[in-house]
Every structure is written in structure tokens, then in C-alpha cells.
């Protein structure tokens, strides 16, 4: 059996009551025998709901706090081995209207996580990024790009210690809060589906795939990488047809800060990008990183000018495939996890 990196470890998730955090919690508690899994978030109601969902699992801890508060992070990170940084303000229109609030959480909060992790001797930190961080045109994407740069450079500050930082960048998550899927489902009874632009394309990933990719990145990371999964693209009009077949599509115009197509690797990134079977790695441009590390593990350098964008992708989801994915998406939170006598949950 492969070595379990999380066995008998203490794991903390910032923003852990969000869509990713809940699915990550389910995966960790069913697949790994962690010592503790700490959920850090600002919302006491969501924490209470998670406690009920996971049947007061003995490995779970809940910590009220905000990544804006460095002192609170220092307390929360005491004795923690692994941190997954998922906390963010991510609604594009809200970020455009409230830029400083987004900077405080997404940028200053990222630096607080880095500082606290180094000071408390956390071994590994994975920060969740977004396709909007590549060639950003909106404030949210710009804050996530800065966050990515901070986490990569954090390995320089941690050089004398054991803390390693890496980033996972992926596309739109099906079923996450803010997804267009619930909106389309709600409006299909009206017979009209609003679409900002019929040409729009997006990368598409399920919550389960996102969690699995983050867990794999934890085992692969050396510190400094930006991990990018290979994902299929989808057309917004195909998604509308999959959810609301026969409904009229209403063009409403692109919102402030919205792109027609998303990108995860820019031409500039590609100079340091390595391709693997199921993912890419963007290597850091620092002297302490050896480009040979990725190549030695079966990676292949990307050609000059390579761009990984949703509209030029070679993998596309059909309407039937989208519909099948939507049918598999749970409509409600997963049931409470049963406890075993030893305090761990049974595998699903």
C-alpha cells in the first residue's frame, strides 16, 4: 500500500466550510486516518452545520477565525502539519465593487497564512488558485495572481526551515457556491436562460476531481510549483442546453471583469511549464529550483508559446456528458458519516 502522507497528521483547511472544504473534509475523513482535521472559517452557523453533517467526528476541530487576522492564524496553526488554503473572496462582480475587501482577504490573508505557516513550522501548504489568475482582467483574478506569487516566493523565506508551499490552479467547479448551474436550474421553469455571451467557454472540473487533484499535489510537491490539471472545456450554450433543454437563450452581455475564455497557462508561463500525463507543472523562476527535477520524473518541457486556454483546448464536453455529470452531482449535502469503534469513519 502506498504511503499515506496524512496518516497521524494534523491538517487545517482555511475557508473550510465552503464547497471545497466540505468535500475535502469528506474525502479526508473517509480515506485517511488523520490525527486532527481543523476547519478554520468565519461563519459559526456553517461550522455548526458541518458538525452535524459529519456526526461530531472525533478528528474534527472547528476554529472561528479570519485569514486577515495574523495572530489568530498563529494560534490556529500551532501543531499543524498540513494547511490547505481555500479561504477567498471569489465573486467577480463583488470584487470589482469592493476591491479593498478582496485585497485584504485574498492578498494580505495569503501573506498571513505564509507567515504563520513558517513561524509554526507547518510542513506543507497548498494554496488554491483560479484560472482567472492567469492573464487576469478582473480584480479577483489579479488578487489570486498576487497570492500565487506570494506562495511561490514563500519557499524563499522558508528556506532555512521545513515549510514547503505550492499552488493548485484549476477551472470552474461544478456545484460550488456561485456556480451558474443553480441559476440555470432555477430559471429553466421560465423558459428563458440568460447567457452573457454565446461564444463563452470555460474549463470544467467537479468538486471530487478538485479534491483528488489537491491530495495528489500534496504528495508530489517539492515547494514552489503551480499544479494545473488537464481539464475538458465546455461551451456555455451547451451547459444551458444540458440543464434546460429547449429553453430560449437570452443574451445579457458580459459582466464587468468577465472573460470570453479562460486561461490556465500563459505563453510566458509555458517557458517554465512541464507536461505530465494528467497535469502540468509551472516551475518557479528562482535559483533554488532545478528544472531537472520535473523532467526526471517523466515530465516534458512545453514548446515556446504554448497556451492552455479553454477555447483552444483539445478536450470538450458534449451536451450528453455535461448532463451525465450534472446528474451525478449531489443535490444535497452528503449524509452523516458513520463512526467506527476506533473513531474513524468507514470508507464510502
DSSP secondary structure string, 45-83? Answer: HHHHHHHHHTTT-TTEEEEE--TT-HHHHHHHTTT-SEE
Return d(Cα 265, Cα 285) in angstroms, integer: 15
Looking at domain 10-171+205-230+264-309, its CATH architecture is: 3-Layer(aba) Sandwich (3.40)
Are the C-beta atoms of residues 180 and 93 closer than 8 Å to each other?
no
Return d(Cα 176, Cα 234) in angstroms, integer: 16
Residue 132: active-site member = yes
Q: Kindly list the averaged pLDDT for each block of 10 residues, start to end, along the chain of length 348.
A: 81 96 96 96 95 91 97 98 97 92 98 97 97 94 97 89 94 76 91 94 94 96 96 96 94 87 96 94 88 74 94 96 81 42 32
Backbone dihedral region for residue 84 (phi beyond 0: left; psi -120 to 50: alpha; all else: beta): beta
Are the C-beta atoms of residues 133 and 90 closer than 8 Å to each other?
no
Three-point CA angle 48, 50, 56, nearest 5°:
85
282 membership: H or E segment, kind and range: strand 279-282
HSE of 304 in the Cβ direction (CA atoms, 13 Å)? 0
What pLDDT is attached to residue 293?
A: 63
Torsion of CA 88, 89, 95, 99, to 10 degrees: -70
Return d(Cα 249, Cα 225) in angstroms, integer: 41
What pLDDT is attached to residue 258?
A: 86
127 membership: H or E segment, kind and range: strand 124-128
What pLDDT is attached to residue 62?
A: 96
Q: What is the DSSP letter of 340?
A: P
Check 36, 46, 132, 272 and give the catalytic one: 132
Amino acid at each position: 500500500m502506498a504511503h499515506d502522507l496524512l496518516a497521524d497528521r494534523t491538517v487545517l483547511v482555511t475557508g473550510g466550510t465552503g464547497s471545497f472544504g466540505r468535500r475535502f473534509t469528506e474525502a479526508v475523513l473517509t480515506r485517511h486516518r488523520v490525527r486532527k482535521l481543523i476547519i478554520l472559517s468565519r461563519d459559526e452557523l456553517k461550522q455548526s452545520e458541518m458538525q452535524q453533517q459529519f456526526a461530531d467526528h472525533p478528528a474534527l476541530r472547528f476554529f472561528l477565525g479570519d485569514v486577515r487576522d495574523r495572530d489568530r492564524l498563529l494560534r490556529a496553526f500551532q501543531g499543524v502539519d498540513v494547511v490547505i488554503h481555500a479561504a477567498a473572496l471569489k465573486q467577480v462582480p463583488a470584487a470589482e465593487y469592493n476591491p479593498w475587501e478582496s485585497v485584504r482577504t485574498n492578498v494580505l490573508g495569503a501573506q498571513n497564512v505564509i507567515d504563520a505557516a513558517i513561524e509554526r513550522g507547518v510542513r506543507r501548504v497548498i494554496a488554491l488558485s483560479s484560472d482567472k489568475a492567469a492573464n487576469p482582467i478582473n480584480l479577483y483574478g489579479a488578487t489570486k495572481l498576487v497570492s500565487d506569487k506570494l506562495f511561490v516566493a514563500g519557499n524563499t523565506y522558508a528556506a532555512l526551515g521545513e515549510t514547503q508551499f505550492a499552488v493548485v490552479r484549476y477551472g470552474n467547479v461544478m456545484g460550488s457556491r456561485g456556480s451558474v448551474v443553480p441559476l440555470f436550474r432555477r430559471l429553466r421553469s421560465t423558459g428563458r436562460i440568460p447567457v452573457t455571451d454565446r461564444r463563452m467557454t470555460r474549463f470544467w472540473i467537479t468538486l471530487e476531481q478538485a479534491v483528488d487533484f489537491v491530495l495528489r499535489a500534496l504528495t508530489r510537491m517539492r515547494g514552489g510549483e503551480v499544479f494545473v490539471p488537464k481539464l475538458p472545456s465546455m461551451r456555455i450554450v451547451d451547459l444551458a442546453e444540458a440543464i434546460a433543454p429547449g429553453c430560449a437563450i437570452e443574451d445579457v452581455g458580459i459582466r464587468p471583469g468577465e472573460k470570453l475564455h479562460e486561461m490556465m497557462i500563459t505563453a510566458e508561463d509555458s517557458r517554465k511549464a512541464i507536461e505530465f500525463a494528467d497535469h502540468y507543472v509551472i516551475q518557479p523562476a528562482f535559483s533554488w529550483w532545478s528544472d531537472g527535477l520535473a523532467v526526471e520524473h517523466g515530465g516534458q518541457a512545453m514548446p515556446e508559446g504554448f497556451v492552455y486556454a479553454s477555447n483552444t483546448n483539445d478536450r470538450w464536453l458534449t451536451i450528453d456528458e455535461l448532463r451525465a455529470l450534472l446528474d451525478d452531482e449531489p443535490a444535497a449535502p452528503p449524509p452523516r458519516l458513520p463512526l467506527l469503534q476506533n473513531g474513524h469513519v468507514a470508507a464510502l
